[in-house]
Structures are given as C-alpha cells and as structure tokens.
Amino acid sequence: MIKFSERQLRVPKLARPVYLVTAGQSKFDRAMPDKRTEELCIDAFTQAAELINKTPAELKRYIHTCYYGHFADHFGDQLLGEAVIHDRLGLDPLGNAGIKTGGATGGSTLWEGMKAVASGYSDCVLAMGWERMDEVPTDEGNFLISCAADKDWESPLGHVYTGYYAVMAQKYWKVFGKEQPSFRRTLAEIAVKHRGYARFNPYAQGPMKITVEDVLNSPVVAYPLRALDCCLMSVGAACAILCDEKTAVELTKGTKNKPLRIWVAAGSHTLRPADRLHMEIPLLPNETAKQYKDLGKRFPGGERYPGFTGFLGARMAAWYGYRMAGIVDPMEDLDVIELHDAFTISDVQSYEDVGLRPYGEGRDYVESGDCYHKNPHTGKPGRLPSNLSGGLIGCLLAVGATGIMQTFESATHFWNRWAEIHGDPKIWKKFNRQKPADWTNLQVKGAKRALAISHAGVGSHVTATILMDPDHLLKEDA
Amino acid sequence: MSMFGQVYVKNNQYKIKGNFHHMTPNQPIRNADDGWKLMGVTNPRDMTYMHSYGGEAIFFESLGKGKLMATRCDNRKCDMKGTIYQPFRIHCMSCLGKNTVIDMTKLAKKSAKIHTFMVCERSGAFSILDKPIKFINIEFDGVPTILMSYLSIGDPKIGMKVIPIFRTTNPTYTILDLSWVPVGTKETNLPEGFSF
C-alpha cells in the first residue's frame, strides 16, 4: 500500500502569483503536409501576440525563458526538436528546455513555466507545445504510441494503447456501471457531445454530428471501446504566455485579455496498471472517508482503489491543485472545465478523480446534464460545462499541444472572446473548413474559474491547471 | 547476402553479426492538386535494436521452460516485506533493495483469475498476435499486483479461473511466451508450441 509522508503531502506554495496573459493555437488536423512544425508553432505564437494587440516581435521582447512540450521524438524523427523551434521562433540565445511527459506534456510544460515565473527566475515565459503525428500511417502511429507502455510487458500485446484503456472500461462497466446497457449509452453520449462541440470550433480536427447509436455501431477497436469512443491522432501546436503581475499588467494594457491567475499541480502513478497497489483514497476537500466506507458494498469490486477504475495521478494533481488555489467543491467553485478525454471511459473516470462526483457515481455528471453548455434536460446552462473545445475526441490529440490548448480554450471564456475566436468566418476560411449553419456560441457567461486536466499513459503523469479571475480568488494568499 | 542481425554478449560487450539496417532509397512526395509540386520526401528506415532484459532476463528465459517467475521483498526492515511482485520487479518499490526471485508457477496454476479484460480487433503495426486479441489482467491470491497477458482459448469473463501456458517449443523470449487458458482446457487443445 502506498503511504504518503507529511512532507510529500505539503501543499505547494508559489513564491509570487503567476498570470496567464495570452495564448494561441494552430489549426489541428490528422495530417498537414503543407506545413512544417515550425510554421504551426509560429501560427500559435502569432495568434497569442495578436490577442494582446502585439506583433510577434513585440511579444518576443518580453520573453525570458521558454519551455517546449513535445512528446514523441520518434513521430517527427527529430531529436532536439525544441532547439529547431526555438531557433525558428528567433528566440536564441534565451534559455529553453524540452518537456516530455506523454499525454500530459502540455500540462507539464505549463507546470514548468509557472515555476519559472513563481520562483522569480523569469518575469515572462513562453510555454509552447506541439506534435507531429502524420509522418507515419495510422497503424504505425498506434505502434509508436504504444511504445509509451512498458516495452517488455505490455507493448507486445497488440501494440495498441486503446487496449490498455479498454480493460479499464470493462472493469468500470462491471463494477460501477453494473453491466447496465445504460452506462454504455452514457459513454457514447460523451462521444456525441465532444464531437458535436467540435463542430463549432474551426481549429478542431474531428467535428461530427452523430448519435449514440452511431457510436455504438462504430467498429470495435478494443471491446468495449469502439472507434468513436477514441480520441484523435493530430498535428498542431499551442502556446501560452505566463508572467508575473507587473509584466502581465503591462502586456495586457488596453487589450481584451485580463491577466488570469494560474496554478498547475502534478501527480503520477505507475506506467503499468499491473503495478497498482491497493491504497486508501486520498480525499479531496469536498469528500469524507465515511462516504467511501461502504463503496465495496454498493459497488462490489469497487473496494480496490485505485484498481483499474481510478487514476491516482489525476486524484493527486487535483489534491494538490485544489488546496493551492482554495477550491473546496469543484462543482460549486468552477465554471468551465476541460478534461483529458482520451477515451470516453477515461472522461468518466476523471470526473471522479477530480471530485465532480464521488467515486462510483461519475456517470451522473453526464446523465444529469451538468456537463453540457446547455443542459438538455432543463434547457438552462449546464452547471459545469466540460470540453466545449471538443476535447481530445473532437478537437485534437496533438500530444504536446493538448494541455495548452485546453488552457487556452478555457481562458477564452474568461476573456469573453469565445465567439470572436471560434466564430470569425475568416478563421473558418483560412482553415478551409465550412462553418456550420447552426454554429452556436459556446461562450460560458461570467466564467471566473476553470480547470484543465492533462493526462499521460494510463495515468502515469497528470497535471491540473487552474485558472482564476484575480478578482474572484477563493483564497487570499493563494 | 543479407542476414538478420544477430547478437551475443562476451565480456559484457555486445558482439554483432549480420545486417542491422537495410538501405531503402527515399522517394519524393508530390502534390496531386497542385501540378505535382514537391511537398516532402519519404524517410525509409529499418533498424534492429539490441535490448537488454538486465535483471529481468531470468523471467523471460523461464517462460520457455514452463515457469512463471516473480520476485519478493525479503528485507526485514522494509514496510513491503513479503510482498510478491508480478510483474517481476528487480528491486522493491519501497526500500529499493534487491528482491528475491521466486517461482510462482504453482500459485498461478492454483489461483489465477481474470480481473478484467478486453477484446482487441484493431492492433497497431508490428503486432504478431492473431486478432481478435483477448487481453486479460490476472489476479493471484496473495499477490497485490495484477498481471497483463492474453487468453489463447475461449472468451474471457471477469472472475474466470485461468491457468498459464508457456511457449516451450521455439520460444520468442518475450512476454508472448506466456499465455492463459480456462481451467479444464486439455493439453491437446493448446496452441502450437505451448504446454502447461
């Protein structure tokens, strides 16, 4: 059993506040043979500059350190890709480092950037992430992704990452879903929702107007997961600019971007789910030990934690992050959320790991309609809308960019710029994409607090990025 | 004449023979929508890696001999003392002391059951298992971890009792030399090369 020492559970404290001032992203697509990676990074950087009325050259003058998130060297067949991008961005001889934590790479890049500003090392940091997954065919891409599993013990078993989530889906369905067909439909509803929201996002790779039946009838990849339960494989880039307070105010003066406080916390767990040992559930501020005492009775098989049904890494990222930022009840304290929906099942697992619902009851977040922009049952705004970008299922999985995209997408709600950034016909035209006739503005009105979860492997690394309007903090000394 | 790369170790150094890479010329990638202008090039590459199992070698060697090896922490001062690790861990995850290698074949034959499973219809490139691949995760009495492997016969169910089988004829020396079948399966029905 894993036991934590008090020192390990110390709540992280930033030496000074850190602000997100702007961000940007490229188009995301399965393949972009017309662009080199540096062109995508420059697209993202240029957008970040334009959102604060600066030219790229003007914004560059503020940057002191750079962190580059790029997961898979073997996809792009380029070691030290960060040096290439850094040079092409014209940022030499500034210090830079590459960050690599699988699917959590984007979140980890922000984590490092935040620490550089919080420590006082830098006043302004560029966090840029990208992935180039179009240099091999899809089955070889699946092979390369499966190299992120244990190469001797797991990867030879099919060379497909979906399999490692499918065993979780099967277990979760048995234990918490009680093998009910309704639970399988709830999973499918997530895929419908995320691909549907992607239709309103010109940057998104996988928009689709589909039904639950479409998902349930799509080809099996790894039973019980089907093709439409699975995330995309993408090319693209995203970036964010993090600053101290003085620089943040200066950079955003006279612009629509209000500097947003940012915290990033991280957790981890074994690369192989096989190695997970039973342990007590680390409790979030809105939970008590009592509520889980009879978990195994209510859900036979659910007494084993985290087993194959939870992600300890995500739980610990939230555990640290909520305490850093003063979040007590995420359903009450947050206004918008982006989760790492690599597969429909992992989306549900994450609801529980980050405390949107207690363990075993994640499905209710979907079935209640709370997760929607507009609750389909009440017609009123959803209580805590999730993955309005389309998430990994509808928008992208350009690995190193993903966590940064989630943060950018969340920030657009705070800045009240969602419609401008997603609805401008010029952007649709530029990306050669058709803006749907029923395009809908998914702006979350009055958003003040957000969470983005960036997640690697089968939960080997997870980060929780929290954004807050500085006039609506939950904790004075956060 | 081309020959697959072969390796042995002498004085703790790799000794190699044969071809470890095969040269294939690159080809241009052109745009059919724009006058066949150049867009890029292919970069073919075929390489053979040399990978060490290190302290886990005994596990993979033993599979071909019909044995399932595990490890156990026997450090009296460790809070994980007595913990059996399967997957095999060379060092204890708590004290980082060297674990004791044990044979858990009997325990596996007696107590293995399916914790969870999935049926894989679409594998990645280079997968050599026949589809559908039935991944199973196996729990054992007294072992806190859950091993990932595959079922060779029958349809998996959570809670199903299974027993290990081993590729003892022409082993591959990989995790694929270990598979599982439902309890009660006759030896004559096992896949070619496998035995109990």
pLDDT tens track for A274-303: 999 999 999 999 999 999 999 999 999 999
Q: Using the predicted structure, report yes or no on whether residue A369 has a pLDDT greater than 80.
A: yes
CB contact under 8 A, B116 and A170: yes
Looking at the complex, report in whole angstroms how far the Cα of residue A190 sits from the nearest Cα belonging to chain B.
20
- For residue A49, CA distances in Å to A58, A111, A124, A204, A409 come to 8, 21, 13, 21, 16
Looking at the complex, report in whole angstroms how far the Cα of residue B59 sits from the nearest Cα belonging to chain A.
11
Nearest to A456 by CA among A150, A154, A106, A118: A106
Nearest to B145 by CA among B41, B57, B73: B73
CB contact under 8 A, A163 and B133: yes
CB contact under 8 A, A170 and B29: no
Average predicted confidence (pLDDT) for chain A: 96
Nearest to A462 by CA among A312, A331, A344, A323: A312
Contact A175, A370 (CB under 8 A): no
User: What was the pLDDT predicted at B2?
Assistant: 62
State the best of B135, B140, B147, B176 to mutate against chain A, taking most chain A CBs within 10 Å. Answer: B135
Instruction: Give the mean model confidence (pLDDT) for residues A178-188.
Output: 95
Instruction: Give the mean model confidence (pLDDT) for residues A13-37.
Output: 96
Which residues of chain B lie closer than 8 angstroms to A277, CB-CB?
144-145
* 3-state SS assignment for residue B56: helix
Domain boundaries, chain B: 54-195
Instruction: Give the mean model confidence (pLDDT) for residues B138-153.
Output: 96
Q: CB-based contact (8 Å) between A153 and chain B? A: yes
Q: Which residue has the tokens 């339960």?
A: A229
Q: How many C-beta atoms surround the C-beta of residue A75 within 10 A?
A: 22
Contact A279, A333 (CB under 8 A): no
Q: Which residue of B has its CA nearest to A156?
A: B127
The H or E element spanning position B60 is helix B57-63
Contact B49, A155 (CB under 8 A): no
> Exposure of A438 by Cβ count < 10 A (0-12 exposed, 13-18 middle, 19+ buried)?
exposed
Which residues of chain B lie closer than 8 angstroms to A308, CB-CB?
115-116, 137, 146
pLDDT tens per residue, range A137-161: 888 888 888 889 999 999 988 888 8
Which residues of chain B lie closer than 8 angstroms to A33, CB-CB?
29, 31, 39-40
User: pLDDT-based confidence at B1, cuts 50/70/90?
Assistant: low
CB contact under 8 A, A308 and B115: yes
CB contact under 8 A, B115 and A162: no
pLDDT tens per residue, range B20-46: 888 889 999 999 999 999 999 998 888
Instruction: Give the mean model confidence (pLDDT) for residues A253-258.
Output: 98
Instruction: Give the mean model confidence (pLDDT) for residues A457-466.
Output: 96
Of the candidates B116, B121, B148, the beta carbon closest to that of A154 is on B148
> Exposure of A465 by Cβ count < 10 A (0-12 exposed, 13-18 middle, 19+ buried)?
buried
Nearest to A306 by CA among A147, A463, A146, A460: A460
| Token reading at A158 | 């099919």
User: What was the pLDDT predicted at A288?
Assistant: 97
Domain boundaries, chain A: 19-136+235-252
Contact B112, B161 (CB under 8 A): yes
Q: How many C-beta atoms surround the C-beta of residue A352 within 10 A?
A: 25
State the best of A78, A170, A235, A349 to mutate against chain B, taking most chain B CBs within 10 Å. Answer: A170
Instruction: Give the mean model confidence (pLDDT) for residues A175-187.
Output: 95
Which residues of chain A lie closer than 8 angstroms to B43, CB-CB?
77, 135
User: What was the pLDDT predicted at A74?
Assistant: 85
Which residues of chain A lie closer than 8 angstroms to B87, CB-CB?
150, 153, 272, 274-275
Q: CB-based contact (8 Å) between A462 and chain B? A: no
Contact B117, B123 (CB under 8 A): no
A108-122, A385-399, B14-28: range with lowest mean pLDDT: B14-28
Which residues of chain A lie closer than 8 angstroms to B55, CB-CB?
none
Q: How far is CA B42 from the centre of its chain?
A: 31
Please give the DSSP secondary-structure letter assigned to residue B18.
S
Instruction: Give the mean model confidence (pLDDT) for residues A401-409.
Output: 98
Average predicted confidence (pLDDT) for chain B: 94
Q: Which residue of B has its CA nearest to A166?
A: B118
What sign has the CA pseudo-torsion A357, A361, A363, A366?
negative
Please give the DSSP secondary-structure letter assigned to residue B130.
P
Fold of A19-136+235-252: Peroxisomal Thiolase; Chain A, domain 1 (3.40.47)
pLDDT tens per residue, range A413-426: 999 999 999 999 99
State the distance between the two ends of chain B, measured CA to CA, in whole angstroms. Answer: 40
User: What was the pLDDT predicted at A157?
Assistant: 87
pLDDT tens per residue, range A54-105: 999 999 999 999 999 999 888 878 899 999 999 999 999 999 999 999 999 9
Q: Using the predicted structure, report yes or no on whether residue A471 has a pLDDT greater than 60.
A: yes
Q: What percent of chain A has pLDDT over 70?
A: 100
Instruction: Give the mean model confidence (pLDDT) for residues A45-55.
Output: 98
User: pLDDT-based confidence at A119, cuts 50/70/90?
Assistant: very high
User: What was the pLDDT predicted at B3?
Assistant: 78
A16-20, A465-469, B14-18, B169-173: range with lowest mean pLDDT: B14-18
Contact A198, A207 (CB under 8 A): yes
Instruction: Give the mean model confidence (pLDDT) for residues A126-135.
Output: 94
CA distance A36 to A26: 12
Supply the Cα-derived Rg of chain A in whole angstroms: 21
Nearest to A459 by CA among A163, A133, A172, A165: A165
The phi and psi torsions of A11 (rounded to 5 degrees) equal -75, 125
Q: Crossing angle of helices A344-353/A181-198, nearest 10°?
A: 100
State the best of A155, A172, A275 to mutate against chain B, taking most chain B CBs within 10 Å. Answer: A275
Q: Using the predicted structure, report yes or no on whether residue A456 has a pLDDT greater than 90.
A: yes
Supply the Cα-derived Rg of chain B in whole angstroms: 22
Considering only residues A87 and B11, tell me which one the structure prediction assigns the higher pLDDT.
A87
Q: CB-based contact (8 Å) between B173 and chain A? A: no
Q: CB-based contact (8 Å) between B146 and chain A? A: yes
Residues in B 15-54 with any Cβ partner in A closer than 8 A: 29, 31, 39-40, 43, 51, 53
CB pairs under 8 A between A and B: 142
Q: CB-based contact (8 Å) between A337 and chain B? A: no
Q: What DSSP string runs through B66-102? A: T--EEEE---TT-TTTT-EESS--SB-TTT-PBPEEE
CB contact under 8 A, B124 and A272: no
Q: Which residue has the tokens 């040399």?
A: B50
- Bond preceding residue A33 cis, omega within 30 of 0: no
* 3-state SS assignment for residue B169: coil
CA distance B140 to B121: 27
Please give the DSSP secondary-structure letter assigned to residue B193.
T
